[in-house]
Amino acid sequence: MTDNRAIATTKYGRLEGSFENGMYVFKGIPYAAQPVGDLRWMPPQPPAKWEGVKPAQKYGAICPQNMMLMAAKLPGTPDFSQDTQDEGCLYINIWTPGLDDAKRPVIFWIHGGAFIIGAGNEPFLEAGTLVKRGDIVLVSINYRMGAFGFMNLKEITGGKIPATGNEGLLDQIAALDWVQENIKAFGGDPDNVTVAGFSAGGMSIGDLLGMPKARGKFCKAINRSGSTNTVSPLQDAVAKAGQFLKILNINSKGSDALRGLSTKQLLEAQEKLGVVMREAKGALTPFMPVVDGGVMPDFPIELIKKGSAKNVIVMAGNSLDELKMSTAMDPAVRNLDEAGLVNRLNLHIPGDMVPKVIEVYREALKKRGGNSSPLDILGTVSTDLMFRIPTIRLVEAQRDIGMPSYNYYFTYKSPAMGGILGAMHGLDNPFLFGALDTDFTGDGEGQRDLALKMQDSCIAFVHTGDPSCKTAGEWPVYGKNRQAMIWDINPRVETAPYEPERKVWDAYEYKHTQPL
């Protein structure tokens, strides 16, 4: 490193990044062999070594993806439509305050996107706030998604294509291996890695906490709007693969035909399967990780209860209105009445629970001062079934095996669109990464103060495993009295927040969910 020239030496060769905004930045580093040709649907393989100095100033290609029209209409959703897309997408990006031996904590960020969209170049990562304020190394990754990373083909092809449906998770583990091998060259500490992720990224972390192949590769986890429940039982995954092949008019023995398909053909089939799944089950995504009995031996929550993550400190939480707006935008439920609400809930939870659930949530919404229409009830129940209750059960599982675990709720409401978005899915990311704006997040003194306290708490957690800090105050572990941090303009710790809604689920144990 000379005059801020960003040069780092990895196990595979030398890299030249750039010095930007007070950070050394390296983009588009291959962390595995690109999964193209014969490597399509195969577990990730080590990258090739190179001679000389490899440029690392531009992001690599992102995983091929179809735009989700619903997501594209929501404020704050990153737009990746102009990015280069390629099945060869296994790249890692790094932001660091120094190329030295400081052994800084590492945040390993896994992007969200329903396992079918997204990339590791989300704009809010560029702010550099956590990196500079916290003296932290930030890592982000791309991984295979959709039909490329989460389609089980092993059973339906008789093993000719050995894909378990967890190749996207194996990509994440390969990237963690790369970090273990190389992060010292970027001023990071391989013994202090925190995996953090949002939505499908948080759900991925829920899976990693259970997977044998991920053990020992990180010591802390931050699950943001994602837990352990978004997985497919093997029989469901095999059925979806069968539907996929039927759309392509390929029989179950057609492994060669599958390998010969173009990226475009696979994306088109995935889009058609997505339509079928939405119409049949209301599913947001056609593909997700699979409980295959091997790579993922059991449902993640069951593995975690047995101690699979017994050495990992977990911080996990949700936004209050995760699915409020996406539910409201669904044409299938836009004019939902009381009978329709009952019918919809009957499809997803035991029928004898439905009247009580509706009663409890209607009363809770009234107490919050919000609307309590059938559509509002559905959106709030959906949020809790899909996000909040699985998150609480993850935190409880870690608590019950004796590990410190922390819970939070992000309740600040976006000022955009007259406030109808509420504390929506993803609104907390710009606060955490210091990328506020006037329209979506608001950018006044209160919002900036909230952002700094969230950042300070995260910085404390990745350094020490305890999110308590001077600015936000004491954050107790999630114990029997269910204390949780409330992130709002007036951050505070509350005991058993939203308890009536939580208690209504006590009688319902579930290991996986489909969105309402």
pLDDT in tens, 367-381: 988 789 999 999 999
pLDDT at position 2, please? Answer: 46
In eight-state DSSP terms, residue 469 is B
Residue 75 pLDDT exceeds 70: no
Looking at every residue in the chain, the average pLDDT score rounds to 93
252 catalytic per annotation: no
From the list 412, 246, 218, the residue with the least C-alpha distance to 312 is: 218
What value, to the nearest 5°, has the Cα angle with vertex 302 and ends 296 and 308? 70
8 A C-beta contact, residue 120 and residue 431: no
Dig out the tokens for 351 from the structure: 């029928």
DSSP character for 62? B
> Does the structure show a pLDDT above 70 at 190?
yes
> CA 119, CA 422: separation in Å to the nearest integer?
25
The CATH homologous superfamily for domain 7-47+55-291 is Alpha/Beta hydrolase fold, catalytic domain (3.40.50.1820)
Per-residue pLDDT band at 76 (split at 50, 70, 90): low
Q: Could you read off the pLDDT of 264-322 as tens digits, one per residue?
A: 999 999 999 988 887 776 667 889 999 999 999 999 999 999 999 999 999 999 999 99
pTM: 0.95
Domain with CATH 3.40.50.1820 in the chain: 7-47+55-291, 312-503
For 98, 194, 228, 264, 490, the CA distances from 471, given in Å and listed in that order, are 26, 22, 31, 50, 12
Distances (CA, A) of 378 to 89, 114, 332, 358: 37, 20, 12, 9
Lowest mean per-residue pLDDT among 65-69, 80-84, 213-217: 65-69
Give the SS3 label for residue 4. coil
* Distance, CA of 281 to CA of 475 (rounded, Å): 39
Residue 271 is a catalytic residue: no
| Other C-beta atoms lying within 10 Å of the C-beta of residue 508 | 12
The strand pairing partners of 224, in sequence order, are 198, 317
What mean pLDDT comes out for the span 136-155?
97
How far, CA to CA in Å, does 377 sit from each of 370, 380, 381, 388? 10, 5, 6, 15
Q: What residues are paired with 139 via a beta bridge?
A: 94, 108
Catalytic residue among 87, 122, 155, 322: 322
CA separation for the pair 24, 96 (Å, rounded): 5
Does residue 322 have an active-site annotation? Answer: yes
Confidence of residue 225 (pLDDT cuts 50, 70, 90): very high
Given a cut of 80, is residue 326 above it in pLDDT? no
- CA 474 from chain center: how many Å? 27
pLDDT at 390: 97
In percent, how much of the chain has pLDDT > 90? 84
Pick the CATH number of 312-503 from 3.30.720.120, 3.40.50.1820, 3.40.50.300, 3.30.1490.100: 3.40.50.1820
Give the separation between CA 41 and CA 153, rounded to whole angstroms.
Answer: 9
What is the CB neighbour count within 10 angstroms for residue 479?
Answer: 11
- Which of 326, 425, 457, 512 is labelled catalytic? 425
Catalytic member of 122, 140, 199, 308: 199
Lowest-pLDDT range of 259-263, 370-374, 493-497: 370-374
Provide the H-helix boundaries in 152-212: 167-182, 200-208
Total residues belonging to the chain: 516
Mean pLDDT of 482-501: 97
The CA distance from 116 to 224, in Å, is: 18
- How far is Cα of residue 338 from the mean position of the Cα atoms in its chain? 33
Looking at residue 307, its pLDDT comes to 96
Q: Write the pLDDT tens digit of every residue in 27-59.
A: 999 999 999 999 999 999 999 999 999 999 999
